[in-house]
Amino acid sequence: MKKPELLAPAGNLQSFYAAVASGCDAVYLGGKNFGARAFSNNFDNDSILEAVNYAHLYGVKVYVTCNTLIYEDEVEEFMEYIDFLHSSSVDAVILQDIGMLDLIRKTYPNLEIHASTQMHIHNLEGVKLLEKLGVKRVVLARETSIEEIKKIKENTNIDLEIFVSGALCMSYSGQCLMSSLVGNRSGNRGSCSQSCRMKYDLYSDDKKVSDNKYLLSTKDLNTLEYLGELIDIGIDSIKLEGRMKSPEYVYQVASLYRKAITSYYETGKVFIDKEELKKLQIIFNRNFTKGFLFNEKNDLFLNSFRPNHMGINIGEVISYSNNLVTVKLSDSLNRLDGIRIIGDNDSGQTITKMYKNNKSVDSAYKEDIITFNIEGQFKKGNILVKTSDYNLTKEIDNIIKLNQRKVDINIKVICLLNQKIKLIVDDIELTSEDIVESSLKAPISKEKIIEQISKLGNSVYQAKVEVIMDDNIFVRINTLNELKRQMIDLLNNKQLYKIPYKKCKYDITLNSYKEEKGFNVLIKNIEDYELIKNKSIKNIYMYENIYNKINIKNKILALPRVIINHKDYEEELLIGELGSINKYKNIVSDYSLNVVNSYSVAFLNSLGVKRVTLSYELKDYQIKNLIDNYKLRYNELPNLELIVSSIPEVMITKFNLIKYYKIDNGYLLDSFNNKFKIEEDNDLMKIYHYKKIEEDNYNKYFDIGINTLRIHIEDKEDIKKLN
């Protein structure tokens, strides 16, 4: 049974040291740019070098997140950064952008590539495609079920990485445009505004179903009790979310999962330390879910009460008057702990003074009745929660600073009369300059040699020492110490390995396309077809529910962007996810492949995609820049499509409000009175933009080199655009 890697997050050097101290096998971190967590402190280049060297000494790998979409004018800077990472011997880079994946694998063949969860890999065909491309590891979408993961593992040889803990995106990762299109902060660029953590009202048939709740805010993932299943099917890496979290959180969650994994190997059962889990909850939690990874029910997935830290319940309000609250405790509370009282209007603070029996105390315990001052409006029965624990934070900080982690080594010492001393560790063998002599007065003992060799000072090693020796011999302590010093130097050099740097020329074979000007449309029902059938249209995209009901030559079947089991199709297809590229031949790619640079266009072309639809997130000047660079680099014209009129899907999720509230239709209303229509499709929920995105000047896109413009038929006004 293969032991999975435990992969911990780090948003800065403090969290990085916490991760290493916790006993993890690898750490993932991001640089100042391109790392999908723009609001984390992140690592500059010097910090990355420091982290790599420190981690490698402990046998810990370092993966760097480069998992944002890369715009055309950023490619040169991005590749300079990748060159730095490769020359710094990072163990892998984690990528989202499909064009950069192709560019990096061809330019730096020795640099290991991991496909980010932002790449939206959720099925066997998607994994097979990346395996063909030489990607070492795939981070599967968090929505991928344990049954599907098992099937993928049985039918591929690529490494699989699974998120098992921490914050969850409501949408399939890489498929959320809500923050970008609504707030101009792209989740695909690391600056998500967390639209899913905002309050919404839910309406159905214009009747309010639920008001002022966090209807898209998930609980945090916690799969501790299910780890055995993941280990049994051979998952290669167990991943913890948390690059925006504190060092204390990183240490606590990684330690918890380290103990759980170790216990399963030692006993065949997962041991969950309840006290350690409670500490994690104090540091941060939104309540827990086993996630869609383990087929969580809709009603256990959501935390509509609060989008941030919940803390733990430690008491109940008995009375409140004149800013003085009296509470009966169900758990301990100490001075300088953080608390919040959950009432009609929550209020939180740090406890600086509290009283028991009218006496000031620094600590209080279960069943104690205490009073303290707090501003707000509270009443009997309100709940007191602890949101931080001063002593716990100090305790964990001290553990991180001391870092008791050691690298285990086995040392063999051979001391034979009239021979040189040998010291052997793995494939390292050292020999002394002087000879072992006989000693009649004060022979050295085996215990003394073990004691001396075991003293490894401030090094990262701890040794199990075996001694083979003759009786009555004399060995100089200085000689043993010198051999030991040389051994540590050689071990350090071995641990600080260098990944062979290799840089090659990028090359790609492309098809030629001619310049065209025309319109495609996407329709959702037969009534729309009747309205447009006499218009001048190149192709009509339609979903499977109407495809076989309309008999025309220029129709193209539009496939979902989330497919678990691919059917067999021979007809021309509009595809929205990477797995379909592996499965089908006659294909056009949709906006959901997040194409924002010329390398992605060329790569999809080389994989057999006939026409590439650009991302909604591109601005006009970026589209022109993309096309100009494509022509200049490849001396060819790209075959591109651009959506110029539509109400975009801004989110697609396995969580389904329509099922959750048992309604037929609905929309979400945000705090600005924007209405986001929701729709059920194959048990998934789609959320649509509150407004139509449309362009007036079509010719400007034809002029810069777009071959096809697309209109999604939403209403009769869209028909006029085809005149």
What are the backbone angles phi and psi of residue 168, rounded to the nearest 5°? -120, 140
CA gap 23, 259 in Å, rounded: 9
Q: Which residues contact 562 (CB under 8 A, 6 or more apart)?
A: 122, 143, 172, 577, 652, 682, 684
In terms of domains, do 378 and 424 share one?
Answer: no
Given a contact cutoff of 8 angstroms between Cβ atoms, the answer to whether 466 and 411 are in contact is yes
Residue 37: the pLDDT is 65
DSSP 2: P
In terms of domains, do 127 and 262 share one?
Answer: yes
Given a contact cutoff of 8 angstroms between Cβ atoms, the answer to whether 645 and 183 are in contact is no
CA gap 17, 19 in Å, rounded: 5
Record the tokens describing residue 441, joined without a space: 């007065």
Strands 92-95 and 113-115: parallel
In terms of domains, do 550 and 573 share one?
Answer: yes
Dihedral angle computed from the Cα positions of residues 603, 609, 610 and 616, in that order, rounded to the nearest 10 degrees: -80
CA gap 677, 701 in Å, rounded: 29
In terms of domains, do 387 and 415 share one?
Answer: no
CA gap 227, 265 in Å, rounded: 11
Given a contact cutoff of 8 angstroms between Cβ atoms, the answer to whether 354 and 361 are in contact is yes
User: How many beta carbons lie within 10 A of that of residue 408, not counting itself?
Assistant: 9
Given a contact cutoff of 8 angstroms between Cβ atoms, the answer to whether 356 and 310 are in contact is no
In terms of domains, do 632 and 619 share one?
Answer: yes
User: How many beta carbons lie within 10 A of that of residue 700, not counting itself?
Assistant: 13
Residue that is last in its domain, among 402, 426, 441: 402
In terms of domains, do 398 and 412 share one?
Answer: no
Strand partners, 575: 589
Residue 361: the pLDDT is 97
Asked, for residue 181, whether it belongs to a domain, the answer is no
What digits encode the pLDDT tens for the residues 635-669?
999 999 999 999 999 999 999 999 999 998 999 99
Q: How far is CA 21 from the centre of its chain?
A: 21
Considering the chain, what percentage of its residues have pLDDT values greater than 90? Answer: 91
Residue 6: the pLDDT is 98
CA gap 261, 267 in Å, rounded: 10
In terms of domains, do 414 and 531 share one?
Answer: no
In terms of domains, do 387 and 418 share one?
Answer: no
User: How many beta carbons lie within 10 A of that of residue 395, not counting itself?
Assistant: 13
Residue 459: the pLDDT is 96
Q: Which domain holds residue 486?
A: 407-495
Asked, for residue 277, whether it belongs to a domain, the answer is yes
Helices of type H across 504-577: 526-532, 544-547
One-letter amino acid at 651 equals M
Q: Which has the closest alpha carbon to 405: 26, 47, 91, 24?
A: 24
Given a contact cutoff of 8 angstroms between Cβ atoms, the answer to whether 670 and 193 are in contact is no
Q: Which has the closest alpha carbon to 127: 564, 559, 563, 578?
A: 578
What digits encode the pLDDT tens for the residues 562-571?
999 999 999 9
User: How many beta carbons lie within 10 A of that of residue 96, not counting itself?
Assistant: 26
Record the tokens describing residue 295, joined without a space: 């087929």
Asked, for residue 184, whether it belongs to a domain, the answer is no
What digits encode the pLDDT tens for the residues 315-340?
999 999 999 999 999 999 999 999 99
CATH number at residue 319: 2.40.30.10
Mean pLDDT by 10 residues, the chain (723 residues): 93 97 97 72 92 98 96 97 98 98 98 97 98 98 97 98 97 93 86 91 94 94 97 98 96 98 96 95 97 94 93 97 96 98 90 96 97 94 97 97 95 97 96 94 95 96 97 95 97 96 96 94 94 92 96 96 95 97 97 98 97 97 98 97 97 95 94 96 95 93 97 89 80
Given a contact cutoff of 8 angstroms between Cβ atoms, the answer to whether 626 and 618 are in contact is yes
Given a contact cutoff of 8 angstroms between Cβ atoms, the answer to whether 452 and 477 are in contact is yes
Helices of type H across 133-177: 146-155
Q: Which has the closest alpha carbon to 254: 10, 553, 505?
A: 10
In terms of domains, do 416 and 398 share one?
Answer: no
Asked, for residue 283, whether it belongs to a domain, the answer is yes
In terms of C-beta distances under 8 Å and separation of at least 24 residues, what long-range contacts does 497-500 make, across chains too?
Answer: 497/56, 497/89, 498/89, 499/86, 499/89, 499/90, 499/91, 499/110, 499/111, 500/110
What are the backbone angles phi and psi of residue 65, rounded to the nearest 5°? -80, 120
Helical axes 45-57 vs 75-87, angle rounded to 10°: 30
CA gap 516, 519 in Å, rounded: 10
What digits encode the pLDDT tens for the residues 512-536?
999 999 999 999 999 999 989 989 9
CA gap 444, 540 in Å, rounded: 90
Overall domain count for the chain: 4
Give whole-number Cα distances, 559 to 147, 590, 620, in Å.
23, 10, 27
In terms of domains, do 356 and 430 share one?
Answer: no
Asked, for residue 501, whether it belongs to a domain, the answer is no
Q: Which residues contact 229 (CB under 8 A, 6 or more apart)?
A: 146, 294
Q: Which residues contact 477 (CB under 8 A, 6 or more apart)?
A: 452
Asked, for residue 255, whether it belongs to a domain, the answer is yes
Residue that is last in its domain, among 250, 277, 300: 300
What is the DSSP secondary-structure string of 11-27? SSHHHHHHHHHHT-SEE
DSSP 101: H
In terms of domains, do 433 and 358 share one?
Answer: no
Given a contact cutoff of 8 angstroms between Cβ atoms, the answer to whether 524 and 544 are in contact is no
Given a contact cutoff of 8 angstroms between Cβ atoms, the answer to whether 114 and 160 are in contact is no
Asked, for residue 670, whether it belongs to a domain, the answer is no
In terms of domains, do 442 and 529 share one?
Answer: no
What is the DSSP secondary-structure string of 37-96? -TTS--B-HHHHHHHHHHHHHTT-EEEEEE-S---GGGHHHHHHHHHHHHHTT-SEEEE-
Asked, for residue 664, whether it belongs to a domain, the answer is no
Q: Is 245 left (phi over 0), alpha (psi -120 to 50) or beta?
A: beta
Task: Give the H/E segment covering residue 342.
Answer: strand 338-342
Given a contact cutoff of 8 angstroms between Cβ atoms, the answer to whether 175 and 192 are in contact is no
Residue that is last in its domain, among 265, 300, 335: 300
Record the tokens describing residue 504, joined without a space: 């090659």
Give whole-number Cα distances, 514 to 19, 178, 185, 624, 639, in Å.
54, 35, 35, 17, 8
DSSP 243: T
User: How many beta carbons lie within 10 A of that of residue 553, not counting itself?
Assistant: 5
CATH number at residue 619: 3.20.20.70
Record the tokens describing residue 430, joined without a space: 């050292």
